[in-house]
Chain A
Amino acid sequence: MSGPLLELSGLTVDIATEDGAPRTLLDGIDLTLARGEALGLVGESGSGKSMTVRAITRLLPAAARASGTIRFEGADVGAMDGSALRAYRDGGVGLVFQDPRAHINPTRRIGAFLIEALVRNRKVPRREALARAAAVLAEVGIDDPARRLRQYPHEISGGMLQRVMIASVLLAEPRLILADEPTTALDVTIQQEVVAILDRLRRERGMGMVFITHDLDLALAVCGRVAVMYAGRIVELRSADTLHERAAHPYTAGLLGSRPAIDRRAERLAAIPGRPVSAFESGQGCAFAPRCAHARPACEQRPPELTEFDGGLVRCARVTEIRPARPSKEASV
């Protein structure tokens, strides 16, 4: 099959509130993901990155309403009926969450958790399912898988449990992995291992991956392309190897300048004033304008379009004028 693995066009999500007025959480997301590609979604609170994943899997809160289209291997996800949706969730996409402990039933053994979908949905015999589970556990770097299968979630560490979560996703052999802050709750050394496992398995199996994180540098290391989100929109989309040098959107540059470096102390961090907002809190124009040093009155009037600039896509009306020379940390110090 040709064509992209995943295609979002004009994806918009509104959520109904108690006072009746709907609030926009995602506003016109356009994205394509090729087979085997890893794409990073990076953003702060309210940026809508988690909501994007929920929309892709059709796991939105009951009060939310999505519009726009989501195509997975050409099929319209929004139009899927019960059985198609089950097949899509079972074998099409796999979800890795931030907190595995909240997503794995604490009263059941690891083995029972891992084989449930295989036995129930795919009618794989129990013995064979267990053998497969053990094999996958070994693949995610867990020693003595046979023993782990008999253990309960509370008996193993968070890092190990996240590997179990990844193993459970792999068992379904999905074509797409959605990883929502999969390492945020883990220690850095464990994060390194888990990310390496995800990356290796993705390459070996040719899976696509959407990797969501607030850590720009982590996304750059894991993904080929990175989309920076702000207030429910994509503000910059660029290949990972050039983002540090070519970051063009003032918000992307601000994020890079905000993060302290491990190898030197900045006299002062180039902090962005104000706080991140959600789509429904932003006004008519550019959502970032109130925090932007380059904003002009015109920025607050009309929303900028996502346009091509310097090999990437940037949503900034003044990008050609301001274009930060070298928005890396040296420049901001």
Chain B
Amino acid sequence: MSTAGTDTAQAVEVRELTKVFKGARGVRHQAVADVSFDVPVGGSLGIVGESGSGKTTIARMLVGLERPTSGRIAVLGRDRSRPARRGVERGARARELQIVFQDPYTSLDPRQSARAAVAEVLRHHGGLTAEQRAKRLDELVDQVGLTERQALARPRDLSGGQRQRVAIARALAARPRVLVLDEAVSALDVSIQAQILNLLADIRAETGLTYLLISHDLAVVRQLCDTVLVLRGGRVVEQGDCARVLDAPAEEYTRALREAVPVPGWTVGV
């Protein structure tokens, strides 16, 4: 195990991450147990699991929306196991890692157009003149494939796919190095899902962004990720190269998961 700050080859480094939720009447629920993984810079890791596997809790801990019970998280060599104390630190973390959520209906402020939302983020992170900001805005709108009219429309006038493009533009605004995609294509129509998956592949090819894709959909993970980690009940079942794990699963659970996916020729009956 390497210490923070020395090993910059890893975009994301997670060690023995654990999260215990305390419920009513002191009931403890271990959502994530002893999870460790690395994502190299420019790499793409898929975290798959069914409901209750803890995959979303991991995503929320990575972005600082939940506090780990124990374990260590480092992004680009900088430790973020504890909440940011100051605004400066929050800003710095925001510029390292961003997230796109599942539901494009609730992940945008209903009163803000795409341009307004992205502009707000650009202003917040500073460092750009008004002119540079305007240029960056055009660049982002173009990059995610929104038309100028769509970029000026409020979320309610956009379709799910268009909203997800807005969410991606907002996440990319401050040029993060790592993007967490929390079921980011799950709520979309099949034909739209393909567009967004292509878009995400293009963005990665252009920018060398590191992806961490949280998904229940093995085919989506196959399409977008180099490595995969299979979670069950908060624990790692299996991890490794995506093709290897999905084509020749070493674990029974991974095999069951894979065989449950309807594919051409799949027949009903266990």
Q: Which residues of A contact B (CB under 8 A)?
A: 44-45, 158, 187-193, 195-196, 199-200, 214-218, 220-222, 244, 254-255, 257-266, 268-273, 275-276, 291, 328
Contact = CB atoms under 8 A, between A and B. Distances in A.
Nearest to A186: B51
Nearest to B259: A192
A271 B195 contact: yes
B269 A196 contact: yes
Contact of A188 (B50, B160, B246, B270): B50
A187 B51 contact: yes
B219 A270 contact: no
B191 A261 contact: no
A220 B264 contact: yes
Given A259-B194, A262-B261, A269-B194, 9 more contacts: A190-B50, A217-B262, A218-B262, A255-B191, A257-B194, A262-B258, A266-B223, A269-B223, A291-B191
A189 B256 CA distance: 7
Contacts of A260: 194, 197, 219-220, 222-223
Contacts of A192: 259-260, 270
Residue from the set B162, B194, B216 with the largest chain A CB neighbour count within 10 Å: B194
Interface of B: 50-51, 159-162, 189-195, 197-198, 201, 216, 218-220, 222-223, 243, 246-247, 256-264, 266-270
A294 B139 CA distance: 31
B191 A258 contact: yes
18 contacts: A44-B190, A188-B50, A188-B216, A188-B257, A218-B262, A221-B266, A255-B190, A259-B190, A259-B219, A260-B219, A262-B246, A264-B222, A266-B223, A271-B195, A272-B195, A273-B195, A275-B159, A275-B189
B262 to A, nearest CB: 4
B28 to A, nearest CB: 19
A216 B189 CA distance: 12
Nearest to B191: A272
A269 B197 contact: yes
Contact of B268 (A195, A215, A261, A328): A195
Nearest to A264: B222
A275 B162 contact: yes
Given A189-B50, A270-B194, A262 B270 contact: no
B266 A217 contact: yes
A265 B257 contact: no
A263 B246 contact: yes
B263 A272 contact: no
A275 B161 CA distance: 8
A243 to B, nearest CB: 9
Contact of B263 (A193, A261, A266, A270): A261
B197 A189 contact: no
Contacts of B262: 215, 217-218, 220-221
Contact of A254 (B50, B191, B198, B218): B191
A34 to B, nearest CB: 19
A222 B262 CA distance: 10
A265 B222 contact: yes
A44 B193 CA distance: 11
Contact of A187 (B190, B216, B219): B216
A225 to B, nearest CB: 15
Residue from the set B219, B259, B268 with the largest chain A CB neighbour count within 10 Å: B268
A192 B263 CA distance: 12
A239 B183 CA distance: 33
A218 B219 CA distance: 14
Contact of A244 (B160, B190, B264, B270): B264
Contacts of A254: 191
Nearest to B189: A44
Contacts of B218: 188, 262
Nearest to B258: A262
A214 B51 CA distance: 20
A190 B259 CA distance: 12
Contacts of A262: 218-219, 222, 246, 258, 261, 263
Contacts of A215: 190, 262
Contacts of A265: 222-223, 243
Contacts of B259: 192
B204 to A, nearest CB: 13
A259 B198 CA distance: 11
Contacts of A255: 190-191
A193 B204 CA distance: 37
Contacts of B247: 263
B198 A193 contact: no
A272 B257 contact: no
A166 B269 CA distance: 17
Nearest to B193: A258
B189 A45 contact: yes
A271 B258 CA distance: 24
Given A275-B162, A328-B264, A261 B195 contact: no
Contact of B222 (A214, A220, A261, A272): A261
A69 B194 CA distance: 37
A213 to B, nearest CB: 10
A272 B162 contact: no
B266 A214 contact: no
A270 B194 CA distance: 7
